[in-house]
Chain A
Amino acid sequence: EVQLVESGGGLVQPGGSLRLSCAASGFIFSRYDMHWVRQVTGKGLEWVSAIGAAGDTYYPGSVKGRFTISRENAKNSLYLQMNSLRAEDTAVYYCARGVVTGTGVKNWFDPWGQGTLVTVSS
């Protein structure tokens, strides 16, 4: 069974840092693009970052320069280093597997983890 389990969320002050982790199992992790998607409680979904199977990385403007996605294939793990956190970064962060489309990280997502809550507040 394909499974993604996030960890590392919590309460952090504005300007602080946090590192999220995602443990993957049930598939050959190194072959897949991986993504982080966030959701403000009660609101919609926002794509946060992607890392290709080859290690290429992508970010939207809202987090570029502050967030860094990485992967450790030997540990079947995905990470998101979040720096200079702002109140508007408060959300549930989901790890999601990208489905291979032959067009790089331009994927749909399947499956998703259960998410980890990040709260940025003083």
Chain B
Amino acid sequence: DIVMTQSPDSLAVSLGERATINCKSSQSVLNSSNKKNYLAWYQQKPGQPPKLLIYWSSTRESGVPDRFSGSGSGTDFTLTISSLQAEDVAVYYCQQYYSTPLTFGGGTKVQIK
């Protein structure tokens, strides 16, 4: 099984500042044939189901604000919120879909400082 490890567990950022969340996989999720990283990011607000933000490690889902960006390759990935807004308070999860069982990181809680 591919183990996904997120860091930090939580972070507090001032409004308008940058938030950076890391996700590390226990083995590469890069498909050498198509050069794609099988990594997605989700946002979950209290009382709501997760919402897709990013797939293929860096492709933003339609309608997602461009302050959200994904980067990385192989085993190390980052979700960046360039200018934190109040509505971004949530828990963020990474997920690999390179192999079954499909697995998630433990989540990172983002709060306002």
Residues of A with Cβ closer than 8 Å to B?
A: 35, 44-47, 50, 58-61, 94, 99, 101, 103, 105-115
A109 to B48, CA, bound (A): 15
Given contacts A45-B50, A94-B49, A112-B49, contact A106 B97 (CB under 8 A): yes
Q: Which residues of B contact A99 (CB under 8 A)?
A: 55
Q: How far apart are the CA atoms of A112 and B97 in the complex, in Å?
A: 16
Q: Are B52 and A109 in contact (CB under 8 A)?
A: yes
Enumerate chain B interface residues (CB-CB to A < 8 A): 1, 38, 40, 42, 48-52, 55, 61, 93, 95, 97-107
Which secondary structure dominates where chain A touches chain B?
A: loop
Q: A44's contact among B51, B61, B93, by CB below 8 Å, is which?
A: B93
In the complex with contacts A60-B101, A106-B99, A106-B100, A45-B52 CB distance below 8 A: no
